[in-house]
Amino acid sequence: MQHTAWIRGLAQGQVAPVVLLHGPDPFLIEEALAALTRAVCPDPGLLVMSREVLEAREAGAEGIVRAAETLPWGTPRRLVVARGVEGLGPKQALPLIEYVGSPNPSTVLAITAPEPLAPSHWLRKVMPAEGSVEIPQLAGRALVAWLRARAAADGLALEEEAAQLLITLVGDDPAALAGEVGKAALAGGPENFHVRTADVRAVVGEHRSHEVFELTRAVERRDAAASLALLERLLAAGEEPLRLHAILAAQARRATVSAAAGRLERCWKAERRLKLGGAPRPELAALVADLCGA
């Protein structure tokens, strides 16, 4: 089942007795689990009695099944969360496989796997279609939509342009983005619930300082992929190209005597081309690539 369809179903009270949540982003898995928890256990005061979390390596398939078969006490339904089940072999998981075929209707068993499972995995094979939820890596407009929806769940109205700017500044890590939305809201004052681009720009300085530092570290490690990604984010956020060049040149001076001469010469050539009107992105990208390969 598609993640978006599953979320819509939760809002309408449609919860399968066994749910598999799997995908490449652990944070999004936990977000989906939180949504499932709210649907099954809407009263936070009863959460301790109505939710149980088990690790497969400790409880085993038998322990997970025992927990799932336990009747609720004081609540209409129980939620049992099982982690690490994907690491069990089919023989080890046999009691669990049998349970999936005839689950306890008063329990929702949620199996979480912070990795995409191949269709050939035994979990995918035994799980009913309505309970198998693959949570994809978000990007582009899907990430913008998710970020705005998550902000709305926290009582914040995040403008689309502000969401896009945040992604440009922070990157596409959902966990980092979720944290920065709150910071942007606070930038507008303690009673601010409408996050605009001005609020996002108010926290830009902190991001830039951190990413400039990360850029210098990535160049020092000669990690060209990370360096170029950081460079692109800094330029997209409005960082001054000549300032970035000066930081890279300063770092080049800290190299060994034999390496510093060549690095500084490369920096001087890049500076000259920039001051003569060279396009900042390709000039700085070429400089960073050369420094990483020096």
What does the alpha-carbon distance between residue 104 and residue 65 come to, in Å, rounded to a whole number? Answer: 10
pLDDT for residue 153: 84
User: Is the entire prediction scored with pTM above 0.75?
Assistant: no
Q: What are the structure tokens assigned to 278, written together?
A: 């060279």
Classified by CATH at the fold level, domain 140-201 comes out as Helicase, Ruva Protein; domain 3 (1.10.8)
Residue appearing with tokens 């951190």: 210
- Domain spanning 3-134: CATH 2.60.120.260: no
Classified by CATH at the fold level, domain 205-293 comes out as Zinc Finger, Delta Prime; domain 3 (1.20.272)
Residue-range domain boundaries for the chain = 3-134, 140-201, 205-293
Q: Which residues of the chain have pLDDT under 50?
A: none
**How does pLDDT run across 79-125, given as a tens digit for each residue?**
999 999 999 999 999 999 999 999 999 999 999 999 999 999 999 99
Amino acid at 15: V
What does the alpha-carbon distance between residue 262 and residue 294 come to, in Å, rounded to a whole number? Answer: 8
pLDDT for residue 294: 57
pLDDT for residue 140: 87
pLDDT for residue 255: 61
Q: How many residues does the chain have?
A: 294
The one-character DSSP state at 117 is P
pLDDT for residue 126: 94
